[in-house]
């Protein structure tokens, strides 16, 4: 509402209230802006302040959620860790047991192989003198005498049977003579002088 006053000098109506209202409005606006500038930090827009406050709230929220950890989750994590450790120990025990079993099996196989080899060696060593005796008996036998023929035949059959037996166990008779001595094949017992066989060769 505008109030008009009449001027005594000019006899004109002057809108007093309108001018006062405009002045008051300007003062109020200036006052509002000055108070807003005081509350706003220097060199920082109001939008920036709102954003910073929002960031501060977001930064605080994780701390609050971290404090509110469910005890059941922590217990489950501990149980899972204990289970993993128990499984690791059990796996190590199984691996050690398997290694021990493999070592025991290998040792047993070696022992059995050595036992077989020793038994075979002992068996052949016991038969060799018998074979040598039969062989010498054939050498000295009078094969031209008809009366000795059955005995010679019996010795030959016995010697053949003995040789067949030792061959079944992987033992071969090496009958070559007057050949160079081979340590991998021959076993030297003694050295004998001979006019028919060169030195270092197998005599018999």
Q: Where are the domains of the chain?
A: 176-204
Kindly report the average pLDDT of the chain as a whole number: 74
- pLDDT-derived band at 7 (thresholds 50, 70, 90) equals very low
Report yes or no: 172 and 131 within 8 Å, Cβ to Cβ.
no
Q: What share of the chain is helix, strand, coil (3-state, %, to 5)?
A: 70, 5, 30
**Is 152 buried (19+), middle (13-18) or exposed (0-12) by CB count in 10 A?**
middle
Distance CA 166, CA 126 (A): 11
pLDDT in tens, 172-187: 776 667 777 777 766 7
Q: Which tens digits make up the pLDDT trace of 17-40?
A: 444 455 665 666 566 555 545 544
Q: Which residue has the higher pLDDT, 50 or 142?
A: 142
Which residues contact residue 181 at a Cβ distance below 8 angstroms, ignoring those fewer than 6 apart?
188, 200, 201, 202
The pLDDT tens digits for 89-121 are 999 999 999 999 999 999 999 999 888 888 888
**Cβ neighbours of residue 60 closer than 8 Å, sequence gap 6 or more:** none
**pLDDT confidence of residue 10:** 47
Per-residue pLDDT tens digits for 151-166: 989 999 999 998 898 8
The pLDDT score that the predictor gives to residue 31 is: 61
What is the arithmetic mean of pLDDT over 79-97?
Answer: 93
Q: Which residue has the higher pLDDT, 8 or 112?
A: 112
Rg (CA), the chain: 61
Question: How do residues 185-203 score in pLDDT, each as one tens digit?
Answer: 667 777 777 777 777 777 6
């Amino acid at each position: 509402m505008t109030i008009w006053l009449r001027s005594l000098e000019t006899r004109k109506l002057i809108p007093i209230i309108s001018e006062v209202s405009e002045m008051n409005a300007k003062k109020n606006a200036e006052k509002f802006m000055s108070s807003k500038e005081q509350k706003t930090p220097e060199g920082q827009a109001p939008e920036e302040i709102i954003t910073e406050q929002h960031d501060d709230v977001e930064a605080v929220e994780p701390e609050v959620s971290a404090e509110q950890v469910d005890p059941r989750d922590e217990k489950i994590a501990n149980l899972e860790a204990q289970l993993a450790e128990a499984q690791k120990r059990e796996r190590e025990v199984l691996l050690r047991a398997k290694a021990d079993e493999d070592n025991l099996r290998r040792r047993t196989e070696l022992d059995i192989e050595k036992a077989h080899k020793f038994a075979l060696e002992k068996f052949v060593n016991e038969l060799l003198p018998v074979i040598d005796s039969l062989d010498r008996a054939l050498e000295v036998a009078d094969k031209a005498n008809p009366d000795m023929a059955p005995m010679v035949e019996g010795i030959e059959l016995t010697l053949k049977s003995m040789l067949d037996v030792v061959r079944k166990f992987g033992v071969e008779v090496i009958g070559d003579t007057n050949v160079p001595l081979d340590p991998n094949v021959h076993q030297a017992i003694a050295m004998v002088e001979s006019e028919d066989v060169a030195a270092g060769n197998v005599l018999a």
